[in-house]
């Protein structure tokens, strides 16, 4: 059994022998790639640009870690891994007629219609965000990307970096910043009916088919179970940014009869569920538990619960307002701070002792 | 000057498991709340 380092060296040295003839003069290298939430992979880059200028400067990252995992568990032989990696590289090549090249990407007017937005956790991506234009949103950040093609269930995308923005501005575009990118991305979404709202039951049925479990069926059928909605885009990739589409969320508030909870299920989708007496603490306990047990590090979005406030017509943290109410209670119940007969900690003990909140 | 651009190919890898976990948890929560409020009670 090879170590991971030996595996990487072998791939680097032998992969050309598994690629079709048109790749014979390609350049092969491995670079460390930081993905969402600080997750890092070793990306194999098989670059056809070196081939007499005929190739493409756009190169897909193929992550070797996942192939090694299969190899080290004995699920795949080394030969199978090399064949799979080569097949993946061929599959991930953007067809010539759909291909963006560097000159397209440097032309802001040409590609601005393809700018889209995704949401990531802010705290976990401080490093990742350093070289990218971004905009803080609640405990998350908006990041912008260009879609370069779809490959089966996968989507190829290039994240917008500061170097791209610099190139756009050097090319004569007066100003590009995160506010402008936000506006363009939201316009692109509005023009394309980008997001969709589906019932949880419908989505799970599509995903699970005949494997849809009977206990889940019973859960949905119970009269006390309200409609729960999954909001994402057609590909269900980076669709959590639907949280930025206030028109869509406003329409949903009619279905949910007012305010509703928004669960950050992952970077790919959010869930909307009616408020039926659950506290935000209960909801956040559930969210962090599902995140811990089921959500991959790379797809994690947040442990917070949000609320669509129908009156304000915007998304807020689910505890917003509650904390204010609690503070107001204290003010109403006690004299001004300098006149308090005891400090706040003692007052909380006092309330607990006397049955207060 | 940009010389080369790499792109990532992402998949929604575990969507089914996440949504199933939330569907189960939320159904439980609504059922408990309905019981607290004296409604429903059909669940086992």
Residue B3: band (very low, low, confident or very high) from pLDDT cuts 50, 70, 90: low
Contact check, Cβ <8 Å, B33/A294: no
**CA gap A279, A70 in Å, rounded:** 42
| Cβ–Cβ under 8 Å, residues A188 and A113 | yes
Contact check, Cβ <8 Å, A236/B15: yes
State the helix-helix crossing angle for B15-36 and A280-293, rounded to 10 degrees.
Answer: 150
Q: pLDDT at residue A308 above 80?
A: yes
ipTM attached to this prediction: 0.81
Domain ranges for chain A: 4-93, 102-192, 195-317, 322-353
In 3-state terms chain B splits into helix, strand, coil percentages (rounded to 5) of 50, 15, 35
- Give the residue-averaged pLDDT of A112-131: 96
Residues of A in contact with B17 (CB under 8 A): 294
Which chain A residue lies closest to B35 (C-alpha atoms)? Answer: A224
What's the pLDDT at A324? 52
Provide the β-strand partners of residue A46.
Answer: A28
Distance from CA of B37 to the nearest CA of A (A): 9
Residue B15, chain A, CB below 8 Å: the answer is: yes
Provide the β-strand partners of residue A150.
Answer: A155
What's the pLDDT at A275? 86
To 5 degrees, how large is the angle CA B5–CA B11–CA B17?
Answer: 155
Distance from CA of B8 to the nearest CA of A (A): 5
- Give the residue-averaged pLDDT of B15-37: 83
Nearest to A238 by CA among A112, A100, A120: A120
Residues of A in contact with B29 (CB under 8 A): 278, 282, 286
Distance from CA of A59 to the nearest CA of B (A): 5
What's the pLDDT at A343? 38
- Burial status of residue A170 (CB atoms within 10 A of its CB: 0-12, 13-18, 19 or more): exposed
Contact check, Cβ <8 Å, B12/A105: no
Residues of B in contact with A58 (CB under 8 A): 4-7
Residue A49: band (very low, low, confident or very high) from pLDDT cuts 50, 70, 90: low
Residue B2: band (very low, low, confident or very high) from pLDDT cuts 50, 70, 90: low
Transcribe A28-58 into DSSP letters. Answer: EEEEEEE-GGG-EEEEEEEE-TTTTT-S-SE
Nearest to B21 among A47, A219, A293 (CB): A293
Contact check, Cβ <8 Å, B27/A216: yes
- Give the residue-averaged pLDDT of A87-114: 84
Residue B38, chain A, CB below 8 Å: the answer is: no
Nearest to B5 among A102, A273, A289 (CB): A102
Contact check, Cβ <8 Å, B20/A216: yes
**CA gap A325, A163 in Å, rounded:** 46
Q: pLDDT tens-digit profile of A236-293?
A: 999 999 999 999 999 999 888 899 999 999 999 999 998 888 899 999 999 999 999 9
Which chain A residue lies closest to B42 (C-alpha atoms)? Answer: A222
Residue A232: band (very low, low, confident or very high) from pLDDT cuts 50, 70, 90: very high
| Cβ–Cβ under 8 Å, residues A308 and A290 | no
- Give the residue-averaged pLDDT of A36-56: 78
* Side-chain half-sphere CA neighbours of A194 within 13 A: 23
**CA gap A94, A100 in Å, rounded:** 8
Distance from CA of A52 to the nearest CA of B (A): 15
Residue A93, chain B, CB below 8 Å: the answer is: no
Beta strands per DSSP E along chain B: 5-10
* Exposure string for A274-284, b = 16+ CB within 10 A, e = fewer: bbbebebeebb
Which chain A residue lies closest to B14 (C-alpha atoms)? Answer: A295
Contact check, Cβ <8 Å, A299/B24: no
């Amino acid at each position: 059994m090879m170590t991971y380092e030996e595996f990487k060296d072998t791939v680097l040295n032998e992969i050309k022998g598994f690629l079709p003839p048109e790749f014979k003069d390609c350049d092969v290298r491995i670079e460390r790639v930081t993905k969402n939430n600080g997750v890092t992979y070793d990306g194999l880059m098989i670059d056809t640009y070196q081939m007499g200028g005929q190739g493409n400067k756009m190169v897909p990252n193929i992550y070797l870690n996942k192939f090694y995992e299969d190899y080290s568990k004995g699920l795949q032989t080394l030969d199978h891994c090399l064949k799979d990696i080569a097949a993946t590289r061929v599959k991930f090549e953007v067809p010539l007629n759909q291909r963006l090249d560097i000159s397209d990407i440097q032309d802001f007017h040409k590609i601005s219609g393809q700018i889209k937005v995704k949401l990531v956790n802010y705290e976990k991506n401080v490093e990742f965000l350093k070289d990218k234009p971004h905009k803080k949103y609640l405990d998350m950040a908006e990041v912008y990307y260009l879609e370069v093609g779809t490959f089966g269930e996968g989507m190829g995308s290039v994240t917008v970096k500061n170097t791209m923005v610099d190139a756009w501005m050097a090319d004569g575009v007066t100003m590009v910043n995160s506010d402008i990118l936000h506006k363009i991305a939201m316009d692109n979404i509005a023009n394309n009916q980008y997001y969709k709202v589906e019932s949880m039951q419908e989505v799970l049925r599509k995903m699970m088919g005949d494997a849809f479990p009977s206990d889940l069926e019973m859960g949905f059928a119970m009269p006390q179970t309200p409609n729960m909605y999954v909001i994402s885009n057609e590909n269900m990739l980076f669709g959590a940014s639907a949280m930025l589409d206030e028109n869509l969320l406003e329409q949903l508030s009619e279905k949910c009869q007012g305010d509703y909870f928004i669960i950050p299920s992952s970077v790919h989708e959010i869930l909307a569920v009616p408020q039926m007496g659950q506290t935000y603490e209960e909801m956040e306990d559930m969210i962090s538990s599902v995140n811990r047990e089921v959500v991959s590090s790379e797809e994690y979005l947040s442990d917070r619960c949000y609320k669509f406030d129908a009156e304000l017509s915007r998304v807020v943290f689910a505890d917003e307002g509650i904390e204010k109410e609690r503070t107001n209670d204290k003010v109403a119940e006690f004299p001004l701070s300098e006149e308090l007969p005891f400090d706040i900690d003692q007052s909380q003990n006092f309330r607990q002792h006397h049955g207060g909140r | 000057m940009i010389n080369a651009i790499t792109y990532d190919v992402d998949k929604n890898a575990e969507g089914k498991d996440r949504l199933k976990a939330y569907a189960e948890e939320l159904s439980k929560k609504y059922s408990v709340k309905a019981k607290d409020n004296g409604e429903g009670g059909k669940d086992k």
